[in-house]
Amino acid sequence: MKVIEHIGQMQETSRALRREGKEIGFVPTMGALHEGHLSLIRRCKEENDTTVVSIFVNPTQFGPTEDYERYPRDLEGDSEKLRSLGVDILFFPSVEEMYPEGYSTYVEVEGLSNHLCGLFRPSHFRGVATVVTKLFNIVMPHRAYFGLKDYQQALIIKRMVRDLNMDVQIITCPTVREVDGLAMSSRNQYLSESERRSATVIYRTLLRAKEALERGEDFGTVKTLMVETLSSEPHVKEIQYASVYDPESLEDLSQRQREDYSGSEVLLAIAVIIGPARLIDNMLVRLRD
């Protein structure tokens, strides 16, 4: 595996690969790799000639009181995993090179960024859209892979690519779960043993909400059920959101008639604070006609 730390060298390498007619697949990450990332990388390897993975803990997507400093970093362990999967290139730039002094350009996807996580992390998606744009300009991939645990992120990136005519295909992959249903996340490492047990309430809530939708309950009732289920777990310190949403606009549907969505998909989504960790999860559910 080739490790590239400099932007210019990554661009030269990608240009050369493209000249040779190679298709470049790209998995952007912030490291602390888990099975969720590895599933994206496996898919990327299947569908491309060259697989590039980036590891960059992006400061612009963290708020001033968030976990940028303590976000888990494990370059050695990550490199080992990437090597064993046969990744071709690890791109590992420094903050100074990505955001040199005087840096002042940001990408903002309006509308979609103001729902769900955007309400609690006001500049988060601006940071994500900016760094993903920069990484696309540096790696020049044909395809890029994102996990659906970060459903809103994937939707925003697809919108950005469409709106800015970026020449890259965005591929979304299913959420990978622990055996007890907890969605894999680098932030699960923050949980104590008892908080980790409590965190299973998130997936349980999604399953109960799905069953309620399948029984024909209205959206408002499903939202109440979600909030009650999450609140029953003492380690849940805060419920930031838990409801039924439109999967395209991310509008909260709890005041809307479910008949308007017969035969369509809706999104169940949750963000909670458990101990020191902010955890999110979601599930798409198709309503019967």
Query: Which residues ranging from 61 to 100 are in contact with ligand PAF (CB under 6 A)?
Result: 61
Q: Residue 81 or 197: which CB sits closer to ligand PAF?
A: 81
Collect all residues with Cβ–Cβ distance below 8 Å to 144 and sequence separation of at least 6. Answer: 25, 26, 27, 28, 132, 136, 157, 168, 169, 170, 171
Asked if 150 touches ligand PAF (CB under 6 A), the answer is yes
Figure out which of the listed residues 4, 90, 112, 128 binds ligand PAF, where binding follows CB under 6 A. Answer: 128
Stretch binding ligand PAF (CB under 6 A), from 27-35, 70-78, 88-96, 224-232: 27-35
User: How far, in whole angstroms, is CA 8 from its chain's centroid?
Assistant: 27
Q: How far is the CB of 119 from ligand PAF (least distance, A)?
A: 17
Query: Helices 219-231 and 200-215 sit at what angle, rounded to 10 degrees?
Result: 160
Strands 143-147 vs 169-173: parallel, antiparallel or unpaired = parallel
Figure out which of the listed residues 82, 90, 131, 253 binds ligand PAF, where binding follows CB under 6 A. Answer: 131
Stretch binding ligand PAF (CB under 6 A), from 14-22, 28-36, 78-86, 89-97: 28-36
Figure out which of the listed residues 25, 28, 93, 118 binds ligand PAF, where binding follows CB under 6 A. Answer: 28
Q: How far is the CB of 258 from ligand PAF (least distance, A)?
A: 31
Q: Residue 128 or 268: which CB sits closer to ligand PAF?
A: 128
Q: What is the DSSP string of 196-237?
A: HHHTHHHHHHHHHHHHHHHHT--HHHHHHHHHHHHHTSTTEE
Figure out which of the listed residues 13, 39, 58, 282 binds ligand PAF, where binding follows CB under 6 A. Answer: 58
Q: How far is the CB of 246 from ligand PAF (least distance, A)?
A: 22
Asked if 30 touches ligand PAF (CB under 6 A), the answer is yes
Q: Residue 188 or 198: which CB sits closer to ligand PAF?
A: 188
Q: Residue 118 or 230: which CB sits closer to ligand PAF?
A: 118
Collect all residues with Cβ–Cβ distance below 8 Å to 227 and sequence separation of at least 6. Answer: 239, 242
Active site residue 37: yes
Q: How far is the CB of 124 from ligand PAF (least distance, A)?
A: 8
**Which is nearest to 148 in space by CA: 244, 21, 280?**
280
**Which is nearest to 219 in space by CA: 260, 272, 280?**
260
Asked if 116 touches ligand PAF (CB under 6 A), the answer is no
Residue identified by tokens 């349980």 is 204
Asked if 29 touches ligand PAF (CB under 6 A), the answer is yes
**Which is nearest to 147 in space by CA: 1, 285, 50, 42?**
42
Q: Residue 118 or 287: which CB sits closer to ligand PAF?
A: 118
Please report, for residues 4, 73, 135, 215, 249, the alpha-carbon distance to residue 93 in angstroms, rounded to integers and kept in the order given. Answer: 8, 14, 10, 50, 34
Q: 50 — phi, psi (to 5°)?
A: -130, 135
CA distance 244 to 229: 15
Size of the site for ligand PAF (CB under 6 A): 10
| Catalytic residue IDs | 37
What is the contact surface with ligand PAF in residues (CB under 6 A)?
28-30, 58, 61, 128, 131-132, 150, 153
